[in-house]
Amino acid sequence: MTEHFDKTYDPYDDHTQPPHRVLGYERTFKRTPDAPLIVRAPTLTERTGPTGLARRLPADRADLTRRTPDGPRALGPRIAVHGRIIDEDGTPVPGALVEIWHANTAGKYIHEDDAFDAPLDPHFPGSGRVVTNADGGFLLTTIKPGPYRAAPGSWRAPHIHFSIVGPSFMDRMVTQMHFPGEMLNEYDLILNAVQDPEARSRLIAEALPPDEETGDALTYHHTIVLRGHV
Amino acid sequence: MSKPAATPPTAWLTVGPFFPRSLIEPTCNDLTRTGRKKARGTPILLAGRVLDRGEQPVRNAVLEIWQPDAQGLFAHPADPRSADADPNFLGWGRSATGPDGWYRFRTVMPGPRSDNAAGTRLPHINMMLLASGIMRRLTTTLFFTDDPDTEDPVLSSVPRVELRRRLLARRAPELDDNGAQAYRFDVITQGDGETPFFLD
């Protein structure tokens, strides 16, 4: 198992990662450092991370379509996100903590700072948390989030926020999953901050056409690649 | 030379302004209570403000810390001495800032470490900042002393003495809490007194 826990971490590639400052996203210009980031060789502190997190935090929150198992269902189309966490070699990352949160079907977050004029859904919990299985896989059932206006003239395409705590400080990942075929994908400032079209397309989930096997949730597949290779 | 990677890592995107409170359990910022028993070592309080350009407080920022236990060990397979690590210390914590930009952690004073391949490590805590307007995380490492006789590899990588001083958490007796000595560490994301951040 040791090979899963002591990897090599190359610096991120600025072509496949977004810039720190994004034109039109004003806050990026006052919250990012002016000084260049300092290069350091990863020490043991960077090559390690919390391995027991899934046992310390509730990590069985896989169903975001209800607040309680028998409670009323949240509004919006139900979706099943079959996800997988792998490293750069394609090796599965088991035991990773996967956290998600997103707006409800009307585009409203459960957060006191969300000023978007849309209703809250009392039956939508807003967030979930699971841990990846031996194959790096996980399943989350939720409702499809709605788009919302982020600033005058600027709308966010429907998206799900993802936070992954992997086996090291180096492979910690925070990103967003988008939906295929959305008109707003072309105009979304955050998604389009990523310059490389291939890297951008990997931020969009794959929708599976419904068939006899499809239950009462539309199926999406999504893979997230954590940094690190053997 | 490492072999070329098959797939580059997924692109980071901002945490946004709405990180949910439901993902920050009450115990998340108390690292002394994550095990069944109390963690070994000296409890400390680590607190400070997150400020952006013009020293404006950053609200709803998410801070995560990662640190060795009181003996300088990690309960992680990459640490050859992990078997001796404190089983009641997770080493990881998460806190969010309030409207005034303040964050707060309760933890134990990390131990120094002398047999690390990278060199002798001074007591230190890694910190990661996520917030609206930060597309990729900002990472830094804070220290408690700047011992001129110890060549900590991370501290040594910081180019100027003046910048190294910004990585020191300062004793703040006015914040002492319930027997825990308090240390203050402000994170300034841009401008005068900008915190040194690392390319991790």
B20 CB within 8 Å of a chain A CB: yes
**pLDDT average, residue stretch A152-162:** 96
Out of A44, A127, A194, whose CB is closest to B22?
A: A127
For residue range B53-80, list pLDDT tens digits in order: 999 999 999 999 999 999 999 999 999 9
For residue A92, the tally of other CB atoms under 10 A from its CB is 16
Give the CATH number, domain containing residue A173.
2.60.130.10
Per DSSP, which regions of B38-180 are E strands? 43-52, 56-57, 62-66, 92-96, 102-108, 124-130, 138-143, 170-171
Cα separation, A173 vs A98, in Å, equals 10
B134 CB within 8 Å of a chain A CB: yes
Looking at the 3D structure of chain A, how many domains does it have? 1
Determine, for residues B56 and A12 on separate chains, whether the beta-carbon distance falls below 8 Å.
Answer: no
Q: ipTM of the assembly?
A: 0.96
Q: Which of A213, A65, A193 is nearest to B12 (CA)?
A: A193
* Structural domain boundaries, residue A161: 2-226
DSSP-based helix, strand, coil % in chain A, nearest 5: 10, 30, 60
For chain A, what is the mean pLDDT? 95
How far off is chain B from A212, nearest CA to CA, in Å? 32
How far off is chain A from B87, nearest CA to CA, in Å? 10
B66 interaction partners in chain A (CB closer than 8 Å) = 45, 48-50, 169
Determine, for residues A50 and B90 on separate chains, whether the beta-carbon distance falls below 8 Å.
Answer: yes
CA dihedral B84, B87, B88, B92 (to 10 degrees): 90
In chain B the domains, ranked by start, together with CATH numbers, are 21-188 (2.60.130.10)
For residue range A94-118, list pLDDT tens digits in order: 999 999 999 999 999 999 999 999 9
Q: Which of B99, B103, B82, B115 is nearest to B185 (CA)?
A: B103
A9 an active-site residue? no
